[in-house]
């Protein structure tokens, strides 16, 4: 039912944003303001999906028995801890190098081969971005602790869980939210610089990647009518 909802109500909105991005590539560079609009739209897409899945999950929560509840929160904690441990196992230099390599690969996926200047843009971003792993972990612990307490309270469980799941920012430190804003500003700046440096070949490659995503969306819509 979640997939049906997503297919019939959300894919068309992703398609419209992809078309807008492709159109933006016809008049370079893409300004920081334009990139920010795209980021805000992506956030809106995510919130719609999160809210829908949260509502359905919250309604199912009362069906879980105590063993399942304990197992659920144990696995959530293990997953969070594994991510934090992976971060702590690296030096700061290793972490930023890994982030740079991931960023470079992502850019190459959409642009094809990239220039040394474009690599430098990615290096500057990953070298300046605020590291948030520990605070992210702390926010997950706080949120999941509140969710587990809702199960133990058992009064209006579904309503309590839904409110918690759609308001995760309430469990994030102000410093973490500020770091997210800082990193988004840095990323938007990097994307603006990248767009100003695109070659004709890279624009064509990027547009083809976007066209492939649109074609995928259209094929899903057609095959499931």
Q: What is the mean pLDDT of residues 20-43?
A: 97
Identify the CA nearest to 66 among candidates 152, 150, 156, 149: 152
Q: How wide is the angle at C-alpha 180 spanned by C-alphas 178 and 181, nearest 5°? A: 65
Q: Is 70 exceeded by the pLDDT of residue 194?
A: yes
| pLDDT for res 225 | 64
Residue-wise pLDDT tens digits, 203-225: 999 999 999 999 999 999 888 76
CA-based angle 219:223:225, to the nearest 5? 120
């Amino acid at each position: 039912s979640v997939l049906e909802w997503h297919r019939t109500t959300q894919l068309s909105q992703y398609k419209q944003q992809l078309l807008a991005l492709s159109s933006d590539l016809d008049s370079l560079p893409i300004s920081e303001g334009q990139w920010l609009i795209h980021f805000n739209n992506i956030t809106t897409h995510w919130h719609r999906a999160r809210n829908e899945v949260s509502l359905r999950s919250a309604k199912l929560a009362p069906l879980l028995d105590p063993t399942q509840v304990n197992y659920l929160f144990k696995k959530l904690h293990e997953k969070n801890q594994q991510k934090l441990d992976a971060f702590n196992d690296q030096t700061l230099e290793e972490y930023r190098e890994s982030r740079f390599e991931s960023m470079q690969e992502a850019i190459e996926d959409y642009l094809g081969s990239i220039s040394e200047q474009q690599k430098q843009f990615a290096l500057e971003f990953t070298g300046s971005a605020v590291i948030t792993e520990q605070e992210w972990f702390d926010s997950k612990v706080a949120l999941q602790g509140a969710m587990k307490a809702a199960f133990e309270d058992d009064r209006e469980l579904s309503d309590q869980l839904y409110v918690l799941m759609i308001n995760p920012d309430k469990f994030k430190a102000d410093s973490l939210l500020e770091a997210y804003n800082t990193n988004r500003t840095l990323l938007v700046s990097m994307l603006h610089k990248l767009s100003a440096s695109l070659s004709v070949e890279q624009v064509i490659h990027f547009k083809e990647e976007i066209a492939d995503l649109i074609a995928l969306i259209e094929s899903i819509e057609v095959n499931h009518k």
